[in-house]
Every structure is written in structure tokens, then in C-alpha cells.
Structure 1
Amino acid sequence: MPARLLESAHGCEATRLRPRPQACNERALSASFLRTWPSRHTSSVRELEQILALFGAAVLLAAAARRAGAPYPVFLAIGGALLALIPGAPSLSLPPDLVLALFVAPILVDAGYDASLRDLRDNWAPLVSLVLFSVALTTAAVAVVSHALVPDLPWAAAIALGAIVAPPDAVAATAVLRPLHPPQRILGILEGESLLNDASALLIYRLAVGAVAAGGFSVQAVAPTFLLAVLGSLVAGPVLGWLMQRLLERVQHIPTAIILQFVGTFTVWLVAENVGLSGVLTTVCFAMTLGRTAPARTPARIRIPTNAVWATVVFALNIFAFIFIGLQIRPILVELAPPVREQYLLVAAAVLATVILVRIVWHMSFNAAIRWRDRRHGFHPPRPMLRPTVGSGLVISWAGMRGIVTLAAALALPGSFPARDLILLTAFLVVLGTLLLQGLTLKALLRFLNLRDGDPVAREEHMARERMLEAAYAQLPTARSPAVDLVRKDLKVWLGQLQRSGGRQASFGAEYDAAYRAALRAARKVLLALRDSGDIGDDAFHALENDIDWMEASDPLRAANADATE
């Protein structure tokens, strides 16, 4: 056998031809990879299968929550707790500095976009009380309690824990309250508080984490930087929102527009953090600017799928947050010695009681002061709304469930942060405890109190529909024709007076289309003016905007989507 054939047959063992070291190494590496690749591949696929199974189970939990009439975060929290007890659950990790951007930035943009400036102005006093004083008191009380129970816990870490558990999440509260049609003022306060509390609490959180990293805290050193960050964020957020809206106006491809919105969201957060601004405050201002400018400039065919995508993403982030923290809690519970575990659970229970009691005591005291003022000077709201009562104070005091922002802030702590395991466990148990204790009893409390305000949103919608219909009629040609008459008939559907005219629009072609779209443009212009003047709130505005979007885009949307995906 020739020498080269011997080498081919026997590899590097051939004796009649000197082997090539590089070729032998390549063969050895290839053989090693081929031996280990199936196990690596199987392990990765198994982890993916487990995570997908967890997502599927979470979706089923959310569906069960809807059937039970409970807020879905309650069931997700229960699922996360069960996950922490399951042996052999998959391990999942994310860089801590990525967690806030991944979870909090989209949540803030979604909430800030829908925020009602009118409701924020109308309810400024209770919002200032909850956003500034309640957050500060909760943070301080939790810091004192946790430091008293764990004397070795640094004060900066105790303050960070207080800031983490301070901000309530309105998702669970509004999911419980909206089907019962509570007073609009209560919903406005809870939603405004949830948005602004995130900003105030995470600013304190950022200072506390920075103090731990710097080894100390100095008011003289921090105050100028803090004020500059706040003022810079208040300026940068609206500017970036304006620029983002101008960019989106030039994009007519639906998938591209939606992707750009998410790219813009994360870019704003990262830019703000990298230049020393507050990512939270900048993102909130960015979102609120978009919320005021986008409705007049975004086509309905883009807004409709965009709303659906954002709702899905926010839902998925909530699912992922509870799954992720459940996977983080299990190693903590397993590795802790029983005495330490008992101490941690005691701290968590004490912190849970503290956040509930501080909110009740503070807000009921504020509520009593407001009612005393109203008795002396009268109640003079800018528009009809529920007068502050003991019942409204109780509902707001009890609607203090914590949620995804608390989880994300805890997960975002650096790995070397003092008592990180204690803070993670406490944050999760506070979220779980508030959702179970308050989330499952809030509906019964509201029914018992029987608070009513006459449904001002329905009144605003009715008034706005009439104004929009008048504007749409005024835009129609004065000369009567079958096409114009059909447009008039279809527009009357808004008031529920007639049945829609079916498919007869096609028989009039361009004449019907031109008249119909001109009328819708006039109606949309009136709707925007009513929102901007404060005659209607954002709840009524978004409901009517959705109606007019579907009227405008019901047929063109299908064609636009087909074009966009070609």
C-alpha cells in the first residue's frame, strides 16, 4: 500500500509517512466536537423546551385568571412562587444592567403614551401626596425596619430595598376595578400614581445603588448631579419624543414602523443612562410627548396593529418577569441554611406589612385633611367628579399591589450588591403578598362601598360623538347624491341609530370614498381638539380614536398589511 494511502487508512498512526500535526489536531478537534455536540445540542434544546413550557403554562394561568375574574398578575405571581419550589427547573440569567432596560423601558412607554395630562392636572394634590410623600415614607420605613431586623445590612442597601418595594403597579388594580365601573377619579389617580411613582422610586433606587458602589453618600456631592439629571431628563425626553415622531411620520411600512418604535424606546433609555440622565424620567417624558403628538400624525392603518403588538409585548414581559424571578428565587431558598432562611422570611413579612400599613396610614390621613378642607372651603373641581370620601380613600389605600417594576428593580441589582439574595426574596414576596392580599379582595371592597360617579367617561363619549358627527356632516357636499346619503347613514351608526349599510359603498366608488374620508378627517380633527382643550379625558379619547381608526382602516388595512409584508 502506498505511503499516502497508509496515512489515509490509518490517520496519524501511519508509520511510512510522517504525519502532519495540524491535520491531526484538526481531526482530533472534529472528532471531539462530533462526540460532544449531541449532548450540548440536547441540553440547549431541553432548556428551550422548558422555557417554552413555562411560557405556555403562564399563558394558561393568565387565561384562568380572566375566567376567575382576577387580575392576571395574581396568578402569574402564584405561578412564579410554585416555580421557585420545583426541583430541576431550568437556570436562566440576564446581565443585571440589562434588566431595567429590557423590562421597565417598554412598560413606561406603554403607560406614558396613554397617560392623561388632564387627569394628572385635575388630581395633582393626591398624586403629589402619593408620588412624593408616600414613596419617601415607604422607602424610609422599609429601610428602618429591614436595618433593625438585619443590623449588618448597610443603610444604602436598606434604602435600595425600600425604593424597590415602594412603587405600586396599577395593572392589577385597574384589571380588578374597570369591569366594576368605579369612579373615574379613582382610576385616574391610580394610573397616574403608577406612572409617576416608578420615576420617583427608581430615582431613589439609583442613588442608593450608586452610594453602595461609591462606598458612601454625600448630599453635597450628589445634589448637583441629581438636579442636573432630573432637569436634563425633563428636557431630553420631549425633544427625543418630537424627533421620534418626525421619524415615524416618514415610515409607511407597518412592520418597520413598529420595530422603529421599540428601537426608539430602548435607544432613549440607553442614551439617557449613558449620558448621566435618568432613564426612567427621560423615557416617561418621551412617551408622554409621543402620546400627545402621535394621534394627529399616525395613520390608522399603522396605529391599529401597533396597539396590538404593544399590548402583546407588555403581557409577555409580565410573564417573563415572573418566570425569571421564580427561577432566581429557587437557588436562594435551596442554598440558605434554615436559620438564615427563617430570618429572611421574617424580614420579607415585616416589609410586606410595612408597605401596606404605611400606604393606608398616609393616604387616609391625607384623605381626612382633604375632606376637612372641602368642608371648610367647598369642593370646586374643574369638572364633575367624585368628591373625596372615606370610601374613595379606602379603595386607593388598598390598591397598592406591587408588580413588574419592583421585580425588575430587584433583578437589576449588581451581583456583588450587599444582601442581594435577601432583597430579591423580599421583593418577590412583597409582590406576591400584595397581589394575594389586596388584589383578591379589592373587588369585594369596591362592591361593599358601592362608589358611583355617574360614568363621566360615557357622558364625554356621547358629547364627543355628537360634536364629531356635526363636524363630519358639515364636511359633506351640500349637493345630495346617493353616495353622500350613504356616507351620512354610515356615520349615524356612531350614535347607534341605524344599521350599517353593508357592502353598498362599493357601488358608488370614488365619490363615496372621498366623501367618507373627508368626513372622518373632520371628525378626527374635532376629537383631537376636544382632547387638547380638556373637554374630554384620555379614556374617552382613546375609545373614540379606536372607533374612528377602524372606520377608516377596516378595508384599507387588509390591503396595507398585504403590501407591507410582500
Structure 2
Amino acid sequence: MHTLLPFLLTMIAAIVLLNMWASQLKIAYPILLVIAGLLVSFIPGLPQVSINPDLIFFIFLPPLLFEASWTVSFKEMKKWWRIIGSFAFLVVFFSALTVAIVAHQFLPGFTVALGFLLGGIVSPPDAVSTGAITRFVKIPKSTSAILEGESLLNDASSLIIFRFALVAVGTGQFIWQQAALSFLWMVIGGAGIGLLIAWIFVNAHKRLPLDAQSHIALTLIEPYFMYWIAEQAHCSGVLAVVSGGLFMSARRLVFLNSASRIQSFSVWESFVFILNGVVFLIIGLELPEIAEGLRVEGIPLSTAIGYGVLITGVLITARMISSYAALLATIIFRPGVVPRARSNRRRWLLPLLLGWTGMRGVVSLAAALAIPITLDDGTAFPNRNLILVVTFVVILLTLLVQGLTLPYFITRSGLFDGLIEDESQKQARQKMKQGLKQHVYQFLKTKYENELNGHTGLEKFLNQWEERAKATDDSWMNEKTKAIFVELLESQRQYLSELNKDPKIDEEIIRQQLYQIDLEEERLKII
């Protein structure tokens, strides 16, 4: 323990430094993390880090999925549910099927079940990688919403494929009737359990006398409860966390106070950042052992890398085909919802962009590491080391090839130059600010008309409420005035919640303004 702890602390420090370096280079930090994971494997004398495969999912997946469900816009997901659903389920299944067929044909010793296992591992694109890469370029909100919604749901669909394939490999048989019933129970039961537990936690937050630190501590254990209880009921723990996270995210204004919302944002962002980095470095630490296992099995490392290149090509091709097939189907069957573009050239470039955003990441790594070392009968799990190498190569290539070229592709193609969405977003932001000003004025005039007369502080706030944070003299602020201001801020939140029902208003703009209101409320507490 005394030798392992300094090493773990060094890992976290390295992750922080890599993120700083990535920001300087203006590239996504997962790209440097996966390269660092590879380089770590060449360092001699490092302590061996071994994690029980059964614990991989439980340690890493719940918080990653929970945080993603809090950041995604559920309103945007509903708006683009058709294309999100097709990419999250149909495209994932098509990718897994394609990988299964190719693996069965070209990889030695791969049955169809083992091919589906590999397909389930490498089929879901990674939300963190895509978000980190697209941060350096401007893309329309609709496109980012599709990518975020897809990445949230495709983890569930791919891991369901992974679970069924794992059972098929272990038992040597696959009964379709039982699989169909199990699939329904995993989906319905998982979502139901997640919603039920989320409802319980929401009420616990509301009824218990918790401070900000206690609220945040409770949110840290909530995804683990959702995942564990769903898995105990043989449901999908992933769907439980996703559905529960979406339920709680939509009600964050109800059960969390301003201090909890502000502090939890930083805590969760740092927590998830460390988890992502640790997973990439863990695979690097296990690569020497994996390479030795390949040597014992008689598979040269260069051959395994070649298989990884093959599977990467299959995945990129399958996603490209799926993207254009989705656009064609939309044009034929739903022409009214075809994505708007200034020219046919840009319209046909959009599927190319969606197809090129299939970077793999931490979920694929966690799934590969979660493969048991042995089967139930004690025999070694077939081709486990080969699957791990192929997965790592897929992640490395998609991050390097697609990740490094995606910003250039977007900029060079001019696909999103002069977007109508950008202009409408500016108009929506202006509309929201103007509406808030009118709301503040009417609220004060209607409810506190008598208090306004002769009160220097409130009159100043009414006339210049946006400038009050710059005031150096706070002598006019008393407890009565502070209570009115807090009530006013809550009224603004209610106004923004109602405004968010407008489908034309970007939810991200609403969230940014709500965050500013939370900051203002916390500022009032220390005056």
C-alpha cells in the first residue's frame, strides 16, 4: 500500500499535467491520455495494478453515466429523438453485427458470440472524447445535442449486447425467446428501477436538513445505488443510472439549493475527469501482462494490432453507411424533419461529419477490462487478451485519426459557416435577457410597490439591477431587502423554467442564466 499510494497520486498528477498540455496544444485531452496509457506500459518497474473485472463496471460506469445525464439537454433529446434513437440503437446494433461477422471470418478462434462480444465493446462512441474535441470548433446546437444524446443512450444498448454475448460465450448457447424476454426486462425494469430510486433520492434531498456538502455527498453515492439495485434485479444498471439521472437533472431546481448546484458542478467535473484518466492509464499498466498472454497463446503482437486496424476500419465504414442511410430514410419518409442546410453539398456533408465523430473511449475500455479472466468452469476466457489489444487499438486509432482531423474537417469544409442556428441562438439569448428585465420590473412594481417608495436601495436596484454587483457601498442592504432580493431571484428561476418550455429556446442558455442567478444568490449571503 505504501508503494501503491504514491504511484496513484503520481497518476492523478500526470492526468492534470496532460490536461494542461492538451489545452495548450488545443487538442482533446483523451488523445494525450490514451497515448500516455500506451507509454506507461514501457516504463519498467512499475507496481502491478490489478482490478477485479467484476468491479470495473461498478466503479467507473455509474458516475460517468450519471454526470453525462445531468449535462445533456433532455429537451433537445426529445426534439431529435428519432435520429438519436436510430444512432443509439440501430447504428450500434448494425456496428456490432458487422464487427461480429468480420471477427468470425478473420480473427482466429472467434465464434459469432465472441464477435458480438467484441462488437458490443467497441460499438459505442465516447461522449467525453467527442465533447472535448468539438470544444475547439463551432458546431450547431442541434448537432451537439444529437451527439450527446446518442452517446448517453448507446452505452446502454451496447452494454446490453455485451451482456447477452457474455452469457452466450459462457454457456455456448443462445435461446432467442429467453433473450427477448430478458431484453424487455432489462430495459423496462432498469428504467423503472432508476426512476423509482431517483424519486426516493429527490424526496430525501427535499425533506432532510442537508447542507451543500451533504447534498453533494449524497449525489456521489446515488448512481452506485441505482446501478447496484438494478443489477441485483437482473436489469440494466446502465439504463437505471441514465433514466434516474435524467429524472433528477430535470428537478435540480426543486431539491438542490444554489450553493449545492454551484459546488456540485465543480466536484463532479473534477471527479469524472480523474475517472476518465485513471481508466486510460490502467489499460497501459495491464498492456505488458496482456502482451505476455498473447505470446503464450501464440499470437504475435503485430498480428493483434493488425486485427485492431481491421476492426477500426469496419467500425468507421459501418458508421458512415449508417449515417447516410439515416439521411436517405429521413428524406424519403420524413422530409419535413430533414436537417436544414444552405446547399445540397452541406446537407450531404452532415452525415459525413456524424460518421466521423465515432471516437471510442472510456466505456469501451471499461467493458473490455470487465471481461472475466475465466469462465464458470474454470477455463480461461477465450481470446480475452486479443480483445483487450483490439479494443485499445480501436480507441487509439479513432482518437488519433478521427479526433485530430475532425476540427480540421469542420473548419476546412465550411460546413457550419454562417449557421442559421447561431443567429437564432443570439436572438434567443437577447429575448431571454429582455424578458428577465421586464419580469423583474413587473415583479417589484406589483408585489413591493409600497416598499419601493422612498427606499434608496430598492429604487437603485429597480433602475439598475444589472449593475448592482459593481456597487462598492452595501450599507443600503438590510435583511428585509435581502429577503426581497432572494424572493426575486426565485421568481426569475420560475420565469426561466417556464421559458424553457419554448422549443425555440436553447436549454443551454437557460442553464447558463440559472447558474448566474445561483451565483448572485450566494453573493447576497455574504453581504
TM-score strictly above 0.5: yes
- 1:442 maps onto 2:406 in alignment: yes
Residue 385 of structure 1: how far off its partner (Å): 9.0
| Cα deviation 1:325-356 (Å, max 9, x = unaligned) | 11111211244337532331121111111111
| Cα deviation 1:398-440 (Å, max 9, x = unaligned) | 1110111111111111111321111111111111110100111
* Alignment TM-score, normalising by the size of structure 1: 0.85
Secondary structure, counterpart of 1:86 in structure 2: coil
The CA distance in 1 between the partners of 2:262 and 2:458, in whole Å, is 27
Kindly tell me the number of residue pairs found equivalent between the two proteins: 506
Secondary structure, counterpart of 1:85 in structure 2: coil
- 1:295 maps onto 2:253 in alignment: yes
Q: 2:442 matched to which residue of 1? A: 474
| Pairing of 1:32-71 with structure 2 (within 5 A) | 44-71=1-28
| Cα deviation 1:178-228 (Å, max 9, x = unaligned) | 343211111011001100111111111111112223332111122212212
Q: 2:481 matched to which residue of 1? A: 512
- 1:147 maps onto 2:111 in alignment: no
Residue 380 of structure 1: how far off its partner (Å): 7.7
Q: Identity across aligned pairs (percent)?
A: 29
Cα separation, partners in 2 of 1:58 and 1:516, compared to 1, 3 Å: same
The CA distance in 2 between the partners of 1:506 and 1:499, in whole Å, is 13
Greater displacement, 508-517 / 337-346: 337-346
Greater displacement, 116-125 / 481-490: 481-490
CA contact (8 A) 1:114 1:288 kept: no
- 1:460 maps onto 2:428 in alignment: yes
Q: Which amino acid aligns with 1:177?
A: T
Q: Specify which of 545, 548, 559 is matched with residue 517 of structure 2.
A: 548
CA contact (8 A) 1:490 1:501 kept: no
Secondary structure, counterpart of 1:45 in structure 2: coil
CA contact (8 A) 1:473 1:519 kept: no
Q: CA RMSD in A?
A: 2.2
Q: Which amino acid aligns with 1:205?
A: F
Residue 315 of structure 1: how far off its partner (Å): 0.2
Q: 1:227 matched to which residue of 2? A: 184
Q: Which amino acid aligns with 1:488?
A: L
The CA distance in 2 between the partners of 1:270 and 1:379, in whole Å, is 39
Q: 2:323 matched to which residue of 1? A: 363
Cα separation, partners in 2 of 1:251 and 1:386, compared to 1, 3 Å: farther
Q: 1:319 matched to which residue of 2? A: 277
CA contact (8 A) 2:193 2:226 kept: no
Cα separation, partners in 2 of 1:157 and 1:449, compared to 1, 3 Å: same
Q: 2:361 matched to which residue of 1? A: 403
| Pairing of 1:276-291 with structure 2 (within 5 A) | 276-291=234-249
Q: Which amino acid aligns with 1:431?
A: I
Cα separation, partners in 2 of 1:72 and 1:490, compared to 1, 3 Å: farther
The CA distance in 2 between the partners of 1:490 and 1:324, in whole Å, is 54
| Cα deviation 1:25-69 (Å, max 9, x = unaligned) | xxxxxxxxxxxxxxxxxxx32332223222222211111001111
CA contact (8 A) 1:484 1:515 kept: no
Unmatched segments (≥5 aa) in structure 1: 1-43, 560-566
The CA distance in 2 between the partners of 1:279 and 1:435, in whole Å, is 27
Larger Rg: 1
| Pairing of 1:197-346 with structure 2 (within 5 A) | 197-249=154-206, 250-337=208-295, 339-346=299-306
* Alignment TM-score, normalising by the size of structure 2: 0.91
Cα separation, partners in 2 of 1:112 and 1:94, compared to 1, 3 Å: same
| Cα deviation 1:357-382 (Å, max 9, x = unaligned) | 111122023224434667xx55588x
The CA distance in 2 between the partners of 1:429 and 1:239, in whole Å, is 39
Cα separation, partners in 2 of 1:484 and 1:355, compared to 1, 3 Å: same
The CA distance in 2 between the partners of 1:385 and 1:265, in whole Å, is 40
The CA distance in 1 between the partners of 2:347 and 2:360, in whole Å, is 24
CA contact (8 A) 1:109 1:284 kept: yes
Cα separation, partners in 2 of 1:98 and 1:518, compared to 1, 3 Å: same
Q: Which amino acid aligns with 1:61?
A: L
CA contact (8 A) 2:15 2:274 kept: no
| Cα deviation 1:282-305 (Å, max 9, x = unaligned) | 110000000111223311011111
Q: Which amino acid aligns with 2:437?
A: L
Q: 2:459 matched to which residue of 1? A: 485
CA contact (8 A) 1:185 1:385 kept: no
Cα separation, partners in 2 of 1:335 and 1:437, compared to 1, 3 Å: same
CA contact (8 A) 1:251 1:257 kept: no
Q: Specify which of 468, 472, 484 is matched with residue 503 of structure 1.
A: 472
The CA distance in 2 between the partners of 1:269 and 1:465, in whole Å, is 40
The CA distance in 1 between the partners of 2:50 and 2:342, in whole Å, is 47
Q: Which amino acid aligns with 1:441?
A: T
CA contact (8 A) 2:360 2:398 kept: yes
